[in-house]
């Protein structure tokens, strides 16, 4: 579907009466994007869960190409007896993990995955509806509100507390009529709101008072207080600002959350985080990742960033790939052909081919795997204009975009090391060609059989596959690093995330009065 398409079909399943609401709910809205809403909600989820409450996260609409695979509990099992999968924003999957539960399609009923500057793939309750221009989506999204409210009520029926995350700024009043995720949702769902400001950005006082000025009286009264986030320094110097904010808004000051030093140990929500990407120095292995225009699931790189032996660097447009690079990683992308054009425009294709001639290594993940082949075809125009784009030709494969989206969690083993690997697939392309006769991975199909996945060159220096999350497998990561000439630190990556979530919960407990916050939920 292209930008000229007038609409997409909304086919909602029958909505249910979930009875009286069990849970109390509290909503965290921000004064802007990237003020720390997702991380604060994750910390509160873990903190209240540790107190013995049944907690669930919820975000009505998320815009991110970082997604997670979930089980679609609404759909009947498939022919193999397995329930079908859906997808939600990775931030809500992390928040579910903080609650100690599996992620659900109802935690993020609407996910927008940007494919162009003016359009996104629309995912409703885990299922892709199609691609939609922003203006068309703006007009149609009120039709999604029944599903959003239904998903929210489902969570309220199973929990003691639902922590709701807003999107962007709650003060974008020009969007109020079609809003499904900020103040209009809060009104329809009857949820009190806490406004979160970001001191690290500056302008906190103006953004909080400005939010109050823009809201109508009913929405102002829906706000039960505000929190100042990402604070560093002597709070006594900022205290007069809080007095001024409260004097202008009448909103009570609910606390100040200091800068959380371990934030980089947790997956980032979306590509805004790449404006300040995690880069590491002091190691022996130089790994670069190309900053594609529609980069997706870039948290695939987090386990490598945790390794002291790895110098990890994102290469931005306008920068060449350094000659001293040992490994080039082509990450996932929501627009493979468009990002192949970006790659050529930047001259990265020339750099990569020279890197390979020098004996360097290349890894392609999902769309990056497709780019390593001879050609990527999109005859139906699923990701943009119909057509085909030449790939890098490093693997003897070709890809056609089309068919149902493959969403599945998988484990198996990596061929060269024999190490167990886990991860997930999330793609629409189908890849074929002689290069697949030398697969990178052997995956378990869940029925006791294995299937080959991906491809690699005979010397193992160029490899790629559809599996996201592969570097999270500790034994494989250690083997891969040693093959590349670096010493692995033997990190337990999953334990590292759990420790960071516990530290975040401790941080919230130390900075905020959680008993008082809980009393504000209703």
pLDDT reported for residue 37? 96
Domains detected in the chain: 24-264+501-520 (3.40.50.300), 285-486 (3.40.50.880)
Catalytic residues: 366, 468
Task: Give the count of beta carbons closer than 10 Å to the beta carbon of residue 163.
Answer: 29
Task: Out of 8-22, 180-194, 219-233, 362-376, pick the least confident.
Answer: 8-22
Phi, psi dihedral angles at 180 (to 5 degrees): -125, 5
Residue 391 sits at the vertex; the CA angle it makes with 386 and 393, to the nearest 5 degrees, is 150
Task: Out of 66-80, 143-157, 175-189, 354-368, pick the least confident.
Answer: 66-80
Residue 55 has pLDDT above 90, yes or no: yes
Instruction: State the Cα torsion 442-444-445-448 to the nearest 10°.
Output: 120
pLDDT reported for residue 80? 67
Distance CA 103, CA 114 (A): 22
- State pLDDT tens for residues 35-44: 999 999 999 9
Strand-pairing partners, residue 193, are: 27, 223
* pLDDT tier at 406, thresholds 50, 70, 90: confident
Distance CA 518, CA 497 (A): 26
Of 45-54, 275-284, 423-432, give the range with the top mean pLDDT: 45-54
Mean pLDDT value across the chain? 91
Residue 7 has pLDDT above 70, yes or no: no
Tally: H helices and E strands in the chain = 15, 26
pLDDT above 70 covers what percent of the chain? 92
pLDDT reported for residue 5? 44
Quickly tell me which residue has 């006082």 as its tokens: 205
Phi, psi dihedral angles at 366 (to 5 degrees): 60, -110
pLDDT reported for residue 449? 75
134-154: average pLDDT: 90
Distance CA 178, CA 189 (A): 15
> Is 478 strand, coil or helix?
helix
Q: What are the CA-CA distances from residue 6 to residues 133, 184, 266, 342, 386 (Å)?
A: 9, 25, 39, 28, 18
pLDDT reported for residue 441? 95
Residue 447 has pLDDT above 70, yes or no: no
pLDDT reported for residue 115? 79
Nearest Cα neighbor of 292 from 340, 224, 251 is 340
- State pLDDT tens for residues 458-506: 999 999 999 999 999 999 999 999 999 999 998 999 999 999 999 999 9
Pairwise pLDDT comparison (282 vs 152), residue with the higher score: 152
pLDDT reported for residue 2? 41
Distance CA 299, CA 269 (A): 9
Nearest Cα neighbor of 23 from 509, 505, 518, 514 is 518
pLDDT reported for residue 4? 42
238-259: average pLDDT: 96
pLDDT reported for residue 191? 98
Strand-pairing partners, residue 255, are: 227, 512
pLDDT reported for residue 347? 97
> In this structure, what token pair is assigned to residue 214?
């823009």
Residue 8 has pLDDT above 70, yes or no: no
Task: Out of 59-63, 77-81, 189-193, 496-500, pick the least confident.
Answer: 77-81
Residue 82 has pLDDT above 80, yes or no: no
Distance CA 242, CA 252 (A): 9
- State pLDDT tens for residues 288-330: 999 999 899 999 999 999 999 999 999 999 999 999 999 999 9
Distance CA 399, CA 364 (A): 14
Distance CA 191, CA 23 (A): 11
Q: At what angle do helices 204-214 and 235-249 cross, to 10 degrees?
A: 10
Q: Give this prediction's pTM.
A: 0.90
- Under 8 Å CB-to-CB from 163, ≥6 apart: which residues? 25, 26, 27, 28, 41, 44, 45, 48, 55, 56, 57, 58, 95
> In this structure, what token pair is assigned to residue 255?
């606390």
pLDDT reported for residue 75? 72
């Amino acid at each position: 579907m292209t930008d000229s398409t007038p609409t997409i079909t909304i086919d909602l399943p029958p909505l249910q009466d979930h009875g009286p609401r069990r849970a109390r709910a509290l909503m965290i809205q921000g004064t802007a994007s990237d003020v720390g809403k997702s991380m604060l909600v994750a910390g509160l989820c873990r903190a209240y869960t540790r107190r013995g409450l049944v907690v669930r996260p919820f975000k009505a609409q998320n815009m991110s190409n970082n997604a997670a695979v979930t089980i679609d509990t609404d759909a009947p099992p498939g022919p193999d007896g397995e329930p079908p999968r859906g997808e939600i924003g990775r931030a809500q999957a992390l928040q579910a993990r903080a609650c100690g539960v599996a992620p659900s399609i109802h935690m993020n009923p609407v996910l927008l995955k940007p494919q162009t500057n003016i359009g996104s793939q629309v995912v409703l309750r885990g299922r892709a509806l199609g691609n939609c221009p922003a203006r068309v989506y703006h007009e149609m999204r009120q039709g999604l509100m029944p599903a959003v409210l239904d998903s929210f009520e489902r969570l309220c029926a199973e929990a003691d507390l639902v922590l709701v995350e807003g999107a962007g700024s709650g003060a974008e009043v020009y969007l109020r009529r079609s809003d499904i995720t900020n103040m209009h949702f809060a009104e329809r769902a009857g949820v009190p709101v806490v406004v979160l400001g970001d001191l690290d950005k500056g302008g906190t006082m103006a953004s909080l008072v400005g939010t109050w000025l823009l809201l109508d009286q009913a929405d102002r009264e829906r706000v039960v207080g505000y929190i100042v986030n990402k604070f560093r320094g002597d709070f006594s110097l900022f205290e007069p600002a809080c007095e001024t904010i409260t004097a202008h808004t009448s909103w009570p000051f609910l606390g100040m959350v200091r800068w959380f030093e371990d934030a980089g140990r947790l997956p980032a929500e979306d590509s805004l985080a790449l404006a300040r990407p995690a880069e590491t120095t002091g190691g022996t292995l130089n790994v670069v990742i190309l900053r594609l225009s529609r980069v997706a699931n870039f948290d695939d790189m987090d386990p490598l960033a945790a390794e002291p032996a790895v110098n990890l660097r994102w290469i931005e447009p306008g920068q060449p790939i350094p000659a001293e690079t040992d490994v080039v990683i082509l990450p996932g992308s929501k627009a493979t052909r468009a990002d192949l054009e970006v790659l050529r425009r930047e001259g990265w294709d020339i750099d990569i081919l020279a890197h390979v001639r020098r004996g360097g290594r290349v890894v392609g993940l999902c769309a990056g795997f497709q780019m390593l082949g001879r050609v990527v075809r999109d005859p139906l125009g699923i990701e943009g204009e119909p057509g085909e784009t030449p790939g890098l030709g490093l693997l003897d494969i070709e890809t056609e975009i089309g068919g149902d989206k493959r969403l599945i969690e998988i484990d198996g083993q990596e061929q060269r090391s024999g190490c167990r690997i886990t991860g997930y697939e999330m793609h629409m392309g189908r890849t074929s060609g002689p290069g697949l006769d030398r697969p990178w991975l052997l995956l378990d199909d869940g029925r006791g059989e294995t299937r080959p996945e991906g491809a690699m060159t005979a010397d193992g220096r160029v490899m790629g596959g559809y599996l996201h999350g592969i570097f999270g497998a500790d034994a494989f990561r250690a083997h891969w690093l040693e093959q590349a000439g670096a010493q692995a630190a033997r990190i337990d990556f999953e334990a590292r995330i759990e420790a960071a979530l516990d530290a975040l919960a401790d941080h919230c407990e130390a900075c905020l009065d959680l008993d008082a916050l809980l009393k504000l939920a209703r």
